Amino acid sequence: MFETWEELENSIINCNKCKLCKTRQNIVFGVGNKNADIMFIGEGPGADEDRLGEPFVGRAGKLMDMAFGILGIKREEVYIANVVKCRPPANRNPEEDEANACLNYLRNQVMLVKPRIIVLLGSVALKHILGKEYGITASRGKWVEKKGIMYMPTWHPAALLRDETKKVDFIKDLQLVMEKINDLTE
């Protein structure tokens, strides 16, 4: 494990543990408040994220920002990361070996941030963080506590682009997050 953000980021920049390093333009490390109470974890970068080196800046990120705006969440107050730090080709889900190659980096980010709540965006994040037995449809909107951290699984913002009816659930889930963080910080 890395003790500093700089050590962790340098390790990821130089990473070649899986084939995704061969096709990336940029690593997508993570962004936001490095001492945030709330952390968001997605699956992996898309084309816009790969180009800019920042998570959730494409169409799905714009939807997430819209939800943040509705709920009064400031992007700079939370920390946002992904399971994998390099873009899977054609926006496919990360393969098992690719996710496994990056999970220690993600664990290290969680260790450095020390969030009270982690919002798991979609089934890839859910399965790699909480376990293969979890399904997003059955788990979304339900709290899971693990090692002193509260987890809220919800839809990935990209799913909202494909099915607009999921926007209501997404907003409700993030409302639960805001209620919980208010309870935890009182």
Among 178, 121, 184, which Cα is nearest to 149's? Answer: 184
Per-residue pLDDT, 166: 96
Q: Kindly report the pTM of this predicted structure.
A: 0.97
Among 130, 185, 126, which Cα is nearest to 153's? Answer: 126
Per-residue pLDDT, 95: 96
**Token pair listed for 81:** 């990361």
Length in residues, the chain: 186
Fold of domain 5-181: Uracil-DNA Glycosylase, subunit E (3.40.470)
Per-residue pLDDT, 185: 84
CB contact at 8 A, 84 and 102 = yes
Neighbouring-strand partners of residue 127: none
Per-residue pLDDT, 186: 80
Residue-level pLDDT, tens digit, the chain, 186 residues: 899 999 999 999 999 999 999 999 999 999 999 999 999 999 999 999 999 999 999 999 999 999 999 999 999 999 999 999 999 999 899 999 999 999 999 999 999 999 999 999 999 999 999 999 999 999 999 999 999 999 999 999 999 999 999 999 999 999 999 999 999 888
Q: Give the whole-angstrom CA distance, residue 86 versus residue 29.
A: 9
